[in-house]
Chains A and B, each alone.
Chain A
Amino acid sequence: MKRLAANTMSVELGQPGAHAGALMNSMEELVARVRSGDEEAFRLIFERYSRPLLGFIFDMVGDRHTAEDLAQETFVRAFRGLSSLRDETKLSTWLFQIAKNVARESLRSRRRDSANVEIDDEEVFFEPHDHRPTPAGQLLDKELNGVIGKALMRLDEDKRLVFTLKVLQQRSYEEIAEITGFSVGKLKTDLHRARAEMRRRIGPYLGGEQ
């Protein structure tokens, strides 16, 4: 705690990278504690990463309940496979790797199950969450959420993966390459195409373009 406080102070004093270092250290410590059987330490990791991972999985599969199930699966796999994590400083990338695998497996099995069923992707995902009357701004945001969600689901899987990680999760190209296993060249191409597709689909919400 003392070290964390000291690091926080150094961030406030403007030393670049100090906060990141503190986080790394604390994550390394947490991983070490989990490896020694401390479940409470794993709960702290869960609290730190559950939200971004849940969001990422949701963006990949487009369904709330499935996303929750897959997030659970991700953390269970992470806990059981923690021994295979070689570099504790890359815990976040590793967790996203697991989440990506879990989401892809789910998408694959869903494709198999609905192999002969024509899916109208306009209707399958993103049910309205709240039917109560809302102020105009909120209504617009809700509409935008629905439009972005639908546009995301219409991207092919690779493009959706790269777009989600870069634009929605703000990951670096290097991290994305590690998570996806794609080359930087491929991910740049996919990202460019995904941006163009998304631009075309949500054009009216981007100030009347397209």
Chain B
Amino acid sequence: MRCVDCLPFIEEYFDGETDARTGASVGAHLAACADCAAALDALRFEQETYARYDRQLEVSPTLWAAVSAEIARGPLPKKSGNGHPFLARLREGFAATLAALTLRPALASSLALLVVGVTAGALWLSLARHPAMKNQLASNEPGRTTTVNPSPASTNASGGDTPTRNTADDGPAVAGIGQPNSRRESGGRVEATRYTTPPATSAPDESVEKLLAYTPPAARGSNIVVIKDDDHETRQDLPVFVNTASAGEGVVTTDARLADPGDKEVARHVERAQMLLRSFKNARPAEGDTVNVAYEKTNARKLLAENATLQLDAETRGDKDTAQVLDSIEPFLLDIANLRDQPSREEVRSVKERMKKTEIIAALQVY
């Protein structure tokens, strides 16, 4: 073996990782070659130096206390095999029940019917407790009509008959949505449309754009859905989605996607919004003075619709905290959704500054 063949293996040899044959060759060469032996000695000396490296670390007694406290809070490790006698008994019991049902088809079918009955009952009860869903179901029944009437006791000072649209430029009713929404641009614009109850004499706004917008009741005037049948009239204060394609004489549909999304869905949404805002925050100028935020824009539009649905649901449930968090996200989603595909650095910077000022990302992180 020559030096050029030996040196590439010298670290491996020192680490004891060469195979037997290579190790023997390298060892034989080292015995005869002073230069290669010196290289090995240098490695040894290095290792001795690193062996003296003292991090001055001691395992503090509090470390075990902290670990112990933490694992006491959480679940025990899952058992493998037949470890836990209780689980084994449970499994055996379940197997025995299945075997019994297999042998008695009549009993099995009775149990199945019972399960179906209980499930249907629970479903009916949950729908009955959810007025919005109940109304939505009711609106689909034949013989019923759904109309919107203004609330006589509207919180809006003007009061009135027909919901009209207030956009960012329309004044104070929109100020609560957030200043980031105050710019207007042409082309593909998404607007947060707020409905309030206008003066009694006002006509329906004919220029309502084709968009889906909703109106959380806590934020603006009441939206009364009146459900009529032959001898009953039920008034329900509901946030509504306006199908602007048919926006005429106050006719709206109750296309409120009111299925209960649950906390997990809200958490996922908030996380997605947080990721979007982070992504936007990290967007850097691509070419010239523009920033490519097409991806963020598309996502913001998707999240905007979802945000509206979840906010509506939170308000319906009376979950003010969640509604407030979602409300705080909305202006930024709107801002990003309304940007051009290649906005100027200045436009992006203004949104970023508002994000920084309101610390929205940090707020979402702790949600």
Contact = CB atoms under 8 A, between A and B. Distances in A.
Are the chains A and B members of one assembly? yes
Interface of B: 11-12, 15, 17, 42, 45-47, 49-50, 52-57, 59-60, 63-64, 66-68, 70-72, 74-80, 83-84, 282
Contacts of B74: 76, 79-80
A144 interface: yes
Contacts of A154: none
B68 A191 contact: no
Interface in A63-83: 64, 67-68, 71-72, 75-76, 79-83
A199 interface: yes
Contacts of A129: 56
A209 B43 CA distance: 12
A29 interface: no
Contact of B77 (A58, A83, A168): A83
A72 B67 contact: yes
Interface string A22-62: 00000000000011110100110011001100110011000
Q: Which secondary structure dominates where chain A touches chain B?
A: helix
B15 A173 contact: yes
Contacts of A71: 63
Residue of A79, A168, A191, A202 most packed against chain B (CB within 10 A):
A79
A58 B57 contact: yes
Q: Which of A35, A37, A202 has the most CB of B within 10 A?
A: A35
Contacts of A168: 50, 53
B50 to A, nearest CB: 5
Contacts, number: 101
Contact of A192 (B11, B49, B52, B53): B11
Given A39-B72, A129-B56, A141-B54, 19 more contacts: A35-B79, A36-B83, A54-B57, A58-B57, A59-B55, A72-B63, A76-B67, A76-B71, A76-B74, A79-B77, A81-B77, A82-B77, A145-B55, A167-B50, A173-B17, A188-B12, A195-B11, A199-B46, A206-B45
15 contacts: A43-B68, A51-B57, A64-B57, A68-B60, A76-B70, A79-B67, A79-B77, A80-B77, A148-B49, A148-B50, A168-B50, A168-B53, A188-B12, A191-B11, A209-B42
Contacts of B84: 36
Contacts of A46: 64, 67
Nearest to B81: A35
A58 B11 CA distance: 25
Contacts of A34: 77
Contacts of B72: 39
Interface string A132-156: 0000000001001100110000000
Contacts of A42: 71
Nearest to B75: A80
B85 to A, nearest CB: 10
Interface centre among B49, B55, B282 (most CB of A within 10 A): B55
Nearest to A112: B278
A102 to B, nearest CB: 13
Contacts of B12: 188
Contacts of A54: 57, 59, 63
A30 to B, nearest CB: 13
Interface size bracket, A side: 35 or more
B49 A205 contact: yes
Contacts of B78: 82-83
A50 B57 contact: no
A187 to B, nearest CB: 10
A50 B60 CA distance: 10
A166 interface: yes
B46 A195 contact: yes
B46 A39 contact: no
Contacts of B53: 144-145, 148-149, 168
Contacts of B50: 148, 167-168
A83 B54 CA distance: 35
A1 interface: no
A115 B80 contact: no
Contact of A72 (B11, B55, B66, B80): B66
Contacts of B54: 141, 145
Nearest to A59: B55
A183 interface: no
Given A43-B64, A46-B64, A83-B80, A72 B70 contact: yes
Contacts of B57: 51, 54-55, 58, 64, 67
A173 to B, nearest CB: 5
Contact of B71 (A79, A199, A202, A205): A79
A140 B42 CA distance: 20
A207 interface: yes
B292 to A, nearest CB: 19
A64 B57 CA distance: 8
Contacts of A207: 45
A10 interface: no
B49 to A, nearest CB: 6
**Counting chain B CB atoms within 10 Å of each CB, which of A47, A54, A81, A115 scores highest?**
A54
A15 interface: no
B46 A172 contact: no
Contacts of B63: 50, 54, 68, 71-72
Contacts of B64: 43, 46-47, 50
